[in-house]
């Protein structure tokens, strides 16, 4: 048995190319167009973006989460994790590499459950980066809890009629289509009573009430839609998966996605850490560099240790997924990875803001946006509190209650047992 923490040389060359490419070619886009990542491309942007995407394809790094039949490489989670660590340093990086959410997950749903006509109309343009999509699941009255979802889809001949409200449907204002989770059998419960549909954006009755910005974004840049589905009619051929099988469809997009988010979190925090180290080596107060202050040295040491610990946990989880090919077997690992991500952002980016002082809180650095990301990471793909419960339940399955009055580590009881065992051994030895 051996532990090996090195990446094979051929793939490391790819990662090195990615790191340089993201820094030199993609980060300038982040500076000029931070709010345009999900918008349809203008002619000016297309002239810049498409050649970059072509370079990614030439390096065979485009949409690597997808299989070769869809133009990807079919990489396992470990390689994808290492790639996403680099992409996490850039806003535009995922789009240039064909891995931006929610388009990646929606593409997988279409690939598995879409008709040939839907694949031609939506999947290929989505894979080519020509359009964006929306995953419309959460609702105003209950967030991501499917047990309280109210959006209904009712059968009417060869059509389904969708009614109700969805909340925080990201990118709906620019999307060509939406994947909508609906209640089709209220009596069957959330695991058998919900169905997924593909809804073209131009379908009558898809009414965006407003586009909500997150704090820090300009009002006009809001991208999280409150949508009223008002007697929206779609044919049965727009159903994705079987009736009542929305949960099975949803799992197609969620398992690996949480690992990708985790590694992008590491890339985000590593960038903040680099900014912190540069600052403490550059700024003096009270007669010495910040780097010479013990409090600040504690910031540096704690931040480095926390990033490395988290990185190893995420990579080990990705390795387990590749090894076992069973997300349920790695369920607690994935949940814990999800739970720890916002804490890492809070701690590392928070310290980086602190050592920058007033500048750290200003719009002249990106630390504020990076810090706020902890809150969206905390509820995306399921609230952290839910994942803690999932992890605890899975962990406790590997333990059991004591059969007696005292704990198994009760010292008086163990001493009696030890004395009896040693007396027996002495008797055997004569």
Secondary structure of 197-247 in the HEC alphabet? EEEECCCCCEEEEEEECCCCCCHHHCCEEEEEEEEEEEEHHHEECCCCCHH
Phi-psi region of 424 (alpha: psi -120 to 50; beta: other; left: phi over 0): alpha
CA 76 to chain centre: 16
- Note the pTM of the prediction, 2 decimals: 0.88
- DSSP symbol at 191: T
Strand (E) positions, 90-223? 133-136, 152-156, 159-170, 177-183, 194-200, 206-212
Q: Which strand (E) or helix (H) includes residue 266?
A: helix 246-282
Predicted confidence at residue 255, as pLDDT, reads 58
Predicted confidence at residue 254, as pLDDT, reads 62
Predicted confidence at residue 252, as pLDDT, reads 64
Q: Tell me how far apart the alpha carbons of residues 376 and 208 are, in angstroms, rounded to a whole number.
A: 22
Burial (Cβ within 10 Å: 0-12, 13-18, ≥19) of residue 247: middle
Q: Is-same-fold flag (133-244; 248-396)?
A: no
298: tokens are 């504690």
Tracing tokens 């370079």 back to the chain, one arrives at 55
Q: Which of 47, 27, 46 is nearest to 91 (CA)?
A: 27
For residue 296, give Cα distances in angstroms to 21, 23, 357.
32, 27, 13
Tell me the HSE value of 90 on the side-chain side, using a 13 A CA sphere.
29
Q: Tell me how far apart the alpha carbons of residues 16 and 149 are, in angstroms, rounded to a whole number.
A: 45
Helix (H, G, I), strand (E, B) or coil at 169: strand
Bridge partners (DSSP) of residue 197 are 180, 239
Helix (H, G, I), strand (E, B) or coil at 347: helix
pLDDT tens digits, the chain, 430 residues: what are they?
Answer: 667 788 999 999 999 999 999 999 999 999 999 989 988 888 999 999 999 999 999 999 998 988 887 778 889 899 999 999 999 999 999 999 998 888 888 988 998 899 899 998 999 888 887 899 999 999 999 888 888 999 999 999 999 999 999 999 999 999 999 999 999 999 998 889 999 999 999 999 999 999 999 877 888 888 999 999 999 999 999 999 999 999 888 876 665 677 888 999 999 999 999 999 999 999 999 999 999 999 999 999 999 999 999 999 999 999 999 999 888 899 999 999 999 999 999 999 999 999 999 999 999 999 999 999 899 888 877 788 989 999 999 999 999 999 999 999 999 999 999 999 999 999 999 8
Q: Which class is domain 248-396?
A: mainly alpha
Write down the architecture of domain 133-244 according to CATH. Beta Barrel (2.40)
Predicted confidence at residue 301, as pLDDT, reads 98
Predicted confidence at residue 253, as pLDDT, reads 64
Q: Which of 145, 183, 177, 24 is nearest to 93 (CA)?
A: 24
Helix (H, G, I), strand (E, B) or coil at 97: coil
Domain ranges of the chain: 9-100, 133-244, 248-396
Pairing of strands 177-183, 133-136: parallel
Tracing tokens 């909508």 back to the chain, one arrives at 180
Q: Which of 234, 270, 243 is nearest to 370 (CA)?
A: 270
Residue partners of 78: CB distance under 8 A and separation at least 6: 315, 318, 319, 321, 322
Q: Tell me how far apart the alpha carbons of residues 120 and 136 are, in angstroms, rounded to a whole number.
A: 22
Tell me the HSE value of 167 on the side-chain side, using a 13 A CA sphere.
10
Residue partners of 224: CB distance under 8 A and separation at least 6: 168, 169, 170, 211, 212, 213, 214
Burial (Cβ within 10 Å: 0-12, 13-18, ≥19) of residue 139: buried
Helix (H, G, I), strand (E, B) or coil at 161: strand
Predicted confidence at residue 383, as pLDDT, reads 85
């Amino acid at each position: 048995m051996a532990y090996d923490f090195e990446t094979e040389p051929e793939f490391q060359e790819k990662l090195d190319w990615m790191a340089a490419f993201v820094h030199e070619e993609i980060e300038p886009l982040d500076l000029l167009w931070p709010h345009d990542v999900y918008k349809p491309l203008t002619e000016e942007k297309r002239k810049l973006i498409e050649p970059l995407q072509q370079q990614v394809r030439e390096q065979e790094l485009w949409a690597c989460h997808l299989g070769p039949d869809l133009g990807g490489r079919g990489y396992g989670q470990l390689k994808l994790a290492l790639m996403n660590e680099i992409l996490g340093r850039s806003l535009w990086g995922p789009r240039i590499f064909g891995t931006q959410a929610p388009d990646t997950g929606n593409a997988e749903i279409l690939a598995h459950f879409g008709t040939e006509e839907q694949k031609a109309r939506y999947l290929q343009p989505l894979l080519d980066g020509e359009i964006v999509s929306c995953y419309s699941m959460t609702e105003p009255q209950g967030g991501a809890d499917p047990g309280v979802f109210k959006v209904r889809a009712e059968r009417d001949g060869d059509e389904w009629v969708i009614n109700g409200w969805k909340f925080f449907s990201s990118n709906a204002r620019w999307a060509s289509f939406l994947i909508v989770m609906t209640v089709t059998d209220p009596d069957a419960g959330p695991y058998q009573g919900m169905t997924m549909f593909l809804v073209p954006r131009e379908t009558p009755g898809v009414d965006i009430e407003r586009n909500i910005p997150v704090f820090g974004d300009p009002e006009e840049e809001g991208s999280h839609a409150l949508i009223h589905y008002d007697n929206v009619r779609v044919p049965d051929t727009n159903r994705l998966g079987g009736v009542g099988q929305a949960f099975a469809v949803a799992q197609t997009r969620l398992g690996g996605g949480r690992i990708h988010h985790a590694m992008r979190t590491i890339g985000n925090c590593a960038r903040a850490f680099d900014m912190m180290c540069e600052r403490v080596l550059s700024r003096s107060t009270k007669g010495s560099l910040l780097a010479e202050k013990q409090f600040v040295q504690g910031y540096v040491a704690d931040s480095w240790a926390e990033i490395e610990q988290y990185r190893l946990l995420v990579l080990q989880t990705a390795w387990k997924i590749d090894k076992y090919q069973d997300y349920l077997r790695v369920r607690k690992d994935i949940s814990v990875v999800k739970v720890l991500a916002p804490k890492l952002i809070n701690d590392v980016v928070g310290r980086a803001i602190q050592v920058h002082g007033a500048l750290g809180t200003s719009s002249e650095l990106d630390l504020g946006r990076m810090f706020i990301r902890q809150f969206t990471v905390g509820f995306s793909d399921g609230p952290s509190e839910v994942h803690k419960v999932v992890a605890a339940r899975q962990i406790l399955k590997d333990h059991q209650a004591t059969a007696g009055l005292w704990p198994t580590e009760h010292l008086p009881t163990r001493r009696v047992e030890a004395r009896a065992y040693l007396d027996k051994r002495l008797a055997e030895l004569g």
